[in-house]
Structure formats: structure tokens, C-alpha cells
Amino acid sequence: MKNRWLPYSLMFLVCFGGVFAALALHERLQGTSGAKSLSQFAKTMPVKYTKQPGEIAFGKATAKLIPAVVSVDVLQSSPFSDSPEMKGQGSGVIITSDGYIVTNNHVIAGGDEILVNLTNSKQFRATVVGSDGIADLALIKVNATNLPAVELGDSDDVQVGQWVLAVGNPLGYEGTLSVGIVSAVNRDLPGGPTSAPLVGAIQTDAAINQGNSGGALGNIHGQVIGINTVIATPNRGSVGIGFAIPSNRVRRAVDDIRKYGRVRHADLGIVRFAPTYVLGHPDFEQQVGDNPPEHGLVVSDVAPGSPVEKAGIRKWDVVTEVNRKPVRGLSDYLTFLLKSEIGDRATIKYWSRGAMKSANVVFAEVDR
């Protein structure tokens, strides 16, 4: 095959060489006038770039979002050093021009000192106004004015397929923007050993990595529709499955913290739980009863005066359903709580000393 193409290659070189020779001779005969003509010719063909409508929209949204997203450095005292050590890094979103910033609770938890870094390189010490591990949200405050705050949008209007922008400080790279779409809405994620479930989350394929927690998930109008909080990944890096707390839930949490100093949660008053393995275990047969259900929430203690105590639910009872939906364990139960509002009514089905019973309850804020 190489030999087959060789004559054509030689022919090309000969022709191309002839063109170059002709151009060189023409320029020599005309002196410098040839160069001027070429320059004039180039000026008549400018390359003009025109932004597309989508780019203009992204640019406007970015201009609103990036300045309002800060990096959050969390420091912790060390017994081996006179100065605090870095415990972790995350992101935060400025929601008022006088210094209120939203971030994740897990970003600031356990820290002794919080430093907030703006995109203009200014740094402030922050104080914690309030935080909540169940909502995984925290409100912090810096002593500053005229900050570039961003608007919280209406997360109930979010639709699958719409464009979103994730802004944060992944791996310490401040002011990083990634773009994607809403992959799903109302996602429920089970809780872990040290974390509560995440319910009603916005799922996105916009790249979210370590350090993005507490950052903004924005829409094309530059409004924050969610606070980035967790990713699903087999290797600690982004694989296009990230989740954000919806902005309407963020707004309610912020309002509660500013008004009450805490986030108010709908509750039923089950304050302690026994492990599920006690069901059917011979050592607990006397407490639980014969032939208990295989799955459910085993009650270990209830709060005095709480809705479940008033309904007659007590220690060793097993909650199996809430509003006809199964409760297989603690994660299911907490998911129901997080989806409920104070004043909502519910029907609980539960096992008690060998018999299945039901009770009507009203969700309330319970003093634990």
C-alpha cells in the first residue's frame, strides 16, 4: 500500500514546490508591496465570535453564583501544636449581604474555628448560628457587609432534564464551576451509622467532588435550588451521581434557626431503638413476645407526653407501618419523619406483646 501512494506523494510535492517558487518570485519582483497587500487582505477577513443564547444565560448565572460561593476551612485544636490544624474543607453559600452563610452540618461539625474565604481573597472568621445533623445543614455568620448574596429559588419547580450549575471548592480549587442536568428529583437515600437519611434530594450529573459539600446547585437564572451534600461513588471521585438538599428545605431550616435557634422537626417521640436482631431471638422472647414480625423498628424508649406515649406505644413494641408504608428499620422511620410536618396526622401499625395493633397520632415537636 505504501508504494501505491508514493507517486501521488511525489506529484503533490512537486506541485506544491512549484507554487512556493512562484510566490517567492512574485514577492521578489514586487518588493515589500506584496507583504502590504497580504496584510490588507488579512484585515478584510476578521474572525468574530458570537455568543449563543445558551452561553449568554450560563454567563449571567455564573456571574451571580460564583461570587456568592465561599470556601470554608474548619480548624481543630491539637494537643501536639500551639496552632490549630486543618480538620476539613468545604463550601458555603452567602444568602444575605450582611454575612449569613449556609453550609452542610458535616462540613463544620467538630471544628473549633471556622474560616471563610471569599472569591476576592478576603478571609473572615465565622461563628455558628445554628446547625442540625438530621437536616445536615448549618447557618454560620461572618462580620461583614455588602457581600455578594445569592437568591434561593423554588425547588418545587425543579424538573428532570433542566440545566444546573454546581459551584464549590472541590479538592481545594476555589470557585470551580461544573455544568450538568437534573437527573432525578425526590430521591431518598438511606442513612449511615453516623448520618441521617437524605430525603427528597435533587440528583444531578454535574461533577461534585470532595470539597463541594455545602456549595450551590444553581439554575440557569442564577438562583440556588439546592445545597450540594453527597455523591454516590465507588472510588471517592465523581461518577456523575450527586445529590443536593432542595432549596425550599434549606429556606425552612434557615428560618427556624434564625427564629428558634434550632431546626424544628416533626416527631413522634420514639427516642431510643433496639437493634432489629432482637426480633425472634430467644433471649428477648419474653420482652417482645412470640412470633414477632421479621422486620420493624423496635422501640427502646419513648419521650414522656409524646404522641406515641399518648397512643399507648411502649418499650419493646415494634413499629411495622406508617400510613400503610412498611417500616423495616430506623432508616425507613427517619425518612417518614423527615417527610412530615408538625401537625400532620398518621396511622401507625405496630406489634405489641403478641398482637398487631394500630394507633392514630399527630406529629409534633418533641423535647428530647
Phi, psi of 273 (to 5 degrees): -135, 145
Checking if the pLDDT of 167 tops 90, the result is yes
Active site residue 26: no
| Catalytic status, residue 131 | no
3-state secondary structure the chain: CHHHHHHHHHHHHHHHHHHHHHHHHHHHHHCCHHHHHHHHHHHCCCCCCCCCHHHHHHHHHHHHHHHHEEEEEEEECCCCCCCCEEEEEEEEEECCCCCEEEECHHHHCCCCEEEEECCCCCEEEEEEEEEECCCCEEEEEECCCCCCCCCECCHHHCCCCCEEEEEECHHHCCCEEEEEEEEEEEEEECCECCECCEEEEEEECCCCCCCCCCCEEECCCCCEEEEEEEECCCCCCCCCCEEEEEHHHHHHHHHHHHHHCCCCCCECCEEEEECHHHCCCHHHHHHHCCCCCCCCEEEEEECCCCHHHHCCCCCCCEEEEECCEECCCHHHHHHHHHCCCCCCEEEEEEEECCEEEEEEEECECCCC
Domain 270-362 has CATH 3.90.1170.50: no
- Is 213 in the active site? yes
Q: Which residues contact 338 (CB under 8 A, 6 or more apart)?
A: 134, 135, 196, 197, 199, 200, 265
CATH architecture of the domain covering 62-142? Beta Barrel (2.40)
Tell me if 143 sits within 8 A of 242, measured CB to CB: no
Q: Among the listed ranges 57-61, 119-123, 194-198, 213-217, which one has the minimum average pLDDT value? A: 194-198
In whole numbers, what is the pLDDT of the chain averaged over residues? Answer: 85
| Catalytic site residue from 106, 256, 306, 340 | 106
pTM here?
0.77
Q: Do domains 62-142 and 155-260 have the same CATH topology?
A: yes
d(CA 141, CA 118): 13
The CATH H-level superfamily of 155-260 is Trypsin-like serine proteases (2.40.10.10)
Check residue 52 and give its pLDDT. 62
The Cα 83–Cα 105 span in angstroms is: 24
Catalytic residue among 71, 91, 132, 136: 136
CA distance 104 to 244: 10
Q: Which residue of the set 71, 131, 183, 213 is catalytic?
A: 213
Q: Are 343 and 362 in contact (CB under 8 A)?
A: yes
Spell out the domain ranges in the chain.
62-142, 155-260, 270-362
Confidence tier at 136 by pLDDT (50, 70, 90): very high
Sign of CA dihedral 56, 60, 65, 66: positive
Which residue has cell 421479621? 294
- pLDDT at res. 15: 38
For 312-328, the pLDDT digits (tens) are: 999 999 999 999 999 98
User: pLDDT per residue over 27-69, tens digit each?
Assistant: 444 444 444 454 554 455 565 655 666 677 788 999 999 999 9
Query: What's the confidence (pLDDT) of residue 209?
Result: 87
